[in-house]
Structure 1
Amino acid sequence: MSDDDRDRWDGRYRSLPPAEPDDGRLPTVFQPFAHLFPTDGTALDVACGRGTAAVWLARRGLTVRGYDISPVAVAQAGVLAQRCGCTGASFAVADLDDGLPPGDPVDVLLCANFRDRRLDEAMRYRVRAGGLLAVSALSEVGATPGRYRAAPGELRRAFSTFDVIASGEADGQAWVLARR
């Protein structure tokens, strides 16, 4: 990612108020399925932002590693985890243009509001057998096409080797929840 992109994301995160302990939650589209997320094991939060979903997963009992391009977001995620007493959540800066950082397969892979088709294969292989994949992205469905928007049916196709639990596309957002 370019320095301009990183600076833009840093500026966006600087402009937001600090996340509060009660902000730790799953992205809205996955909240009806919260009961399907495991209460132990490991998780990867790709493009974790301020860490609200990672903190929710850690509070649930998972050991979570979150990555984001923005050092500001990663610092805020660390502060949120500390304020929540989440010793099972850790965060690091990573340029996802270089691919997923190396690591073992996980029980949960969450990627919310971020889309890079080049990561699909690595994401599929990063989820262990029986693990859960939760991906949401901007969509062309109900919105205008764009570089970072998923085409109609794209997420279901990208993760078609998984057992889809639920998915949707509307109002400019696409999402899929699936088990490997």
Structure 2
Amino acid sequence: MLTPALPAVFADFESVFPRTGKALELACGSGAAAVWLAMRGLDVHGVDVSDVAIEQARLIARQSGVAMRCRFDSVDLDLGLPPGDAVDLLLCHRFRDRRLDGAVIGRLAPGGLLAICALREVGSAPGRFRVRPGELRTAFAALEVVAAGASDKQEWLLARASPATAT
């Protein structure tokens, strides 16, 4: 069985991730991160284009005893984000589609956390799903940066939506 875990790039920031609320994971693959989030206390919706990956994610959730906190669906993100309520956490690990940036920001609840990591163009050919240096900070400039970093292979960002203001 695949071990549920937060992607290693975010491991040093585990304390920043919420323990309650709703989460959406884009391109969740076999569900290791989504199941980890559910074990932490979140209600998680994971989406991926692969039916095989979605079945694996459902199995891991059942085996980990958190199936009631997880929903996994096959979704083609080329068609946009799936409909849904605002989330307290939106996780996107090693997937990048610039066309979704506005929808991603719009899906965050007040104070919600975006955790995004994408492969970089540095040392590689440019590509639709790769990021240029500094691209994530620029794309999500409307959010408050919690932490950010880059290596030769990937760039990542943790950022929060503005908290709700009293009216």
**TM interval, short-chain normalised:** over 0.9
Aligned twin of 2:96 = 115
RMSD: 0.9
User: 1:172: how far off?
Assistant: 1.5
User: 1:147: how far off?
Assistant: 2.4
* Unaligned residue ranges in structure 2 (runs of 5+): 162-167
Q: Would you identify which runs of 4 or more consecutive aligned residues in structure 1 move more than 2 Å?
A: 141-147
Structure 1 counterpart SS, 2:129? coil
Matches within 5 A, 1:58-69: 58-69=38-49
Query: How does the TM-score come out when normalised to structure 2?
Result: 0.93
Structure 2 counterpart SS, 1:31? helix
Distance 2:123 2:158 in 1: 20
1:110 partner letter: L
User: 1:140: how far off?
Assistant: 1.3
Distance 2:103 2:42 in 1: 21
Aligned twin of 2:115 = 134
Equivalent residues of 1:40, 1:62 under 8 A apart: yes
Aligned twin of 1:143 = 124
Q: Confirm whether residue 103 of structure 1 aligns to residue 101 of structure 2.
A: no
Q: Confirm whether residue 93 of structure 1 aligns to residue 74 of structure 2.
A: yes
Query: How does the TM-score come out when normalised to structure 1?
Result: 0.86
Matches within 5 A, 1:163-178: 163-178=144-159
Matches within 5 A, 1:7-18: none
Structure 1 counterpart SS, 2:91? strand
User: 1:142: how far off?
Assistant: 4.0
User: 1:155: how far off?
Assistant: 0.5
Distance 1:144 1:176 in 2: 22
Equivalent residues of 1:167, 1:176 under 8 A apart: yes
User: 1:91-112 deviations in whole A, cap 9, x for unaligned?
Assistant: 0000000000000100000000
Higher helix share: 1
Distance 1:167 1:141 in 2: 16
* Unaligned residue ranges in structure 1 (runs of 5+): 1-18
Q: Which moved more, 1:28-37 or 1:134-143?
A: 134-143
User: 1:42: how far off?
Assistant: 0.3
Structure 1 counterpart SS, 2:156? strand
Q: Confirm whether residue 29 of structure 1 aligns to residue 12 of structure 2.
A: no
1:175 partner letter: W
Distance 2:38 2:152 in 1: 30
Equivalent residues of 1:143, 1:171 under 8 A apart: no
